[in-house]
Structure 1
Amino acid sequence: MTRRPGERGSATLFAVGCLALLLLLGSALGVVAAMVRAHRTAQAAADLAALAGATTVGDGDPCAAAAGIAERNGARVLDCAVRGREVRVVSEAPGPRWLGQVADLSAEARAGPG
């Protein structure tokens, strides 16, 4: 195979372009994985906080119990509502910070009899 003078180094440019594309794709996938993890954290914290609140309905402050459990699970309670013996909790977990964007994710759960 003969080389023409104008094509010298074109494989290097192609390789650098492919490498840049792979780096961008890997970064995007990393951000998506971090967002999924943050949502799972928020959902688990909301579930556990609602259960903790529902168990303390007659004995104390359900929202304080829910907030304490959410904090221990890496989230914070945005909203807590008690209706009878049912507790509804909305929690938020910090998400990834990428290129100056804030992606905190929230989840909702309810617990109580029936």
Structure 2
Amino acid sequence: MRRPAGHRDERGLAVVASTALLGVLVTVTLAAVGVGSVVLGHRAAQAAADLASLAGATAVQDGRDACGAARQVARRNHARVVRCRVEGFVVSVETAARTGRLPGGALELRARARAGPVGQLP
């Protein structure tokens, strides 16, 4: 049986369409994994900053090295202290934490926190 003139052959179209759909699915999945990794990395950096500033504020009230205590707590939370400043009894800390594996490499995410006695924070 002959096809009418001008009628296209559609054989193989399902393979092309399913391959394109698979490519879109892989791209969306990789993007979701990347965004999730960045969100989790930032939360880890923020948690480390919060805990480090609290440890520093406690240490300064006890007469100990505030930034040393902050660094120790940040390290235990898989982060590092980028900046630590003590003003009276208020401790300001900036931490950095690396994300997990991402396509294209890991990122370093930063977060800041301040801690001190009530009434001394702005």
When the two structures are superposed, what TM-score results if normalisation uses the length of structure 1? 0.91
Answer yes or no: is the 8 Å Cα contact 2:56–2:91 preserved in 1. yes
Answer yes or no: is the 8 Å Cα contact 1:96–1:104 preserved in 2. no
Aligned counterparts of 1:110 and 1:102: Cα–Cα separation in 2? 27
1:76 partner amino acid: R
* Pair 1:93-2:84 in alignment: no
SS at match of 2:60: coil
Please give the per-residue CA displacement for 1:57-94, whole angstroms capped at 9, x wherever unaligned.
14211000000000001111000000000000000110
Answer yes or no: is the 8 Å Cα contact 1:39–1:105 preserved in 2. yes
Instruction: Quote the residue 1:28 is aligned against.
Output: 31
Aligned counterparts of 1:44 and 1:104: Cα–Cα separation in 2? 15
2:17 partner amino acid: F
Instruction: Quote the residue 1:69 is aligned against.
Output: 73
Of the structure 1 ranges 44-53 and 100-109, higher mean CA displacement relative to structure 2 is found in: 100-109
CA RMSD of aligned residues (A): 1.6
Larger Rg: 2
Identity %, equivalent residues: 46
Aligned residues between the structures: 112
Please give the per-residue CA displacement for 1:22-67, whole angstroms capped at 9, x wherever unaligned.
0110000000000000000000000000000000114211000000
* Unmatched segments (≥5 aa) in structure 2: none
* Unmatched segments (≥5 aa) in structure 1: none
Aligned counterparts of 1:100 and 1:25: Cα–Cα separation in 2? 16
